[in-house]
Amino acid sequence: MCAVTTIKCPHCRKETELTGNPYRPFCSERCKMIDLGTWASEGYRIPGEKAPEHDDDEDEN
């Protein structure tokens, strides 16, 4: 069985080493930070219906 030693960066698709790479699965800090920024700005979304609004000020008696 052959061990995988390189993968493609999920952002730029460049081949990168798995071992000794502090940014894995990304190839660099730049690609890692771009991906983090996309998450922070809600750029990644799961398709589906919008959740109903809930008003916390109403009494639930």
CATH code, 32? 3.30.50.10
pLDDT reported for residue 49? 87
**How much is the pLDDT for 47?**
85
Share of the chain above pLDDT 70, in %: 87
Terminal CA-to-CA distance of the chain, rounded, Å?
A: 63
Residue 30: how many CA atoms within 13 Å on its side-chain side? 3
Residue 49 within any structural domain of the chain: no
* 21 vs 58, residue with greater confidence: 21
Q: What is the pTM assigned to this prediction?
A: 0.66
Token output for 21: 């790479």
Per the domain annotation, does 48 fall within a domain? no
Alpha-carbon distance 58 to 61, whole Å? Answer: 9
Q: Is residue 54 part of a domain?
A: no
Number of folded domains that form the chain: 1
Residue 52 lies in a domain: no
Sign of the four-CA dihedral 3, 28, 23, 37: negative
- Residue 35 belongs to what domain range? 6-40
- Domain annotation covers residue 47: no
pLDDT in tens, 30-58: 999 999 999 999 898 888 888 788 776 65
